[in-house]
Structure 1
């Protein structure tokens, strides 16, 4: 089960960001991700890798554990 996707969405929305804005931030971290890929992650269609979890913590300015709560 992919619990990270739902938490990425919650944190992104709490920070007042759109999917496009988060994708842009991830691209600045040299992670080439599109808005549609981000949507798939948030809707639990696509899983994330370990390095992607780390990049989400940076892009969302959050702690690792928050993605798993």
Structure 2
């Protein structure tokens, strides 16, 4: 039986994360730095991999991303964000 992480896309939020980050005029490094203030450590390279869906995202990372971007966790999953 195939597991979800066996697919090419390892998360559902990558595209929306990139859109929301750019709407906030925030670089990947700035997002990483703001997450660090919440004791959530995602390096710039990992944010890039989340955005291109080649990295999974943990529940605490989802929480931090939603807080830093000022959106609900649900909105990270909405399709499509414009």
TM-score by length of 2: 0.78
Shift of 1:53: 0.8
Shift of 1:36: 0.3
Any idea what the Cα deviations from partners look like across 1:21-51, whole Å, max 9, x if unmatched? 1010011111111100110001100010111
Higher helix share: 1
- Residue 57, structure 1, aligned to residue 45, structure 2: no
Partner of 2:37: 28
Report runs of 4+ in structure 1 exceeding 4 Å deviation.
none
Equivalent residues of 2:16, 2:76 under 8 A apart: yes
TM-score by length of 1: 0.92
Q: Gaps spanning 5+ residues in structure 1: where?
A: none
Number of residues of Structure 1 aligned to a counterpart in Structure 2: 69
Shift of 1:3: 2.0
**What RMSD over aligned residues (CA atoms) do the two structures have, in Å?**
1.0
Equivalent residues of 2:35, 2:68 under 8 A apart: yes
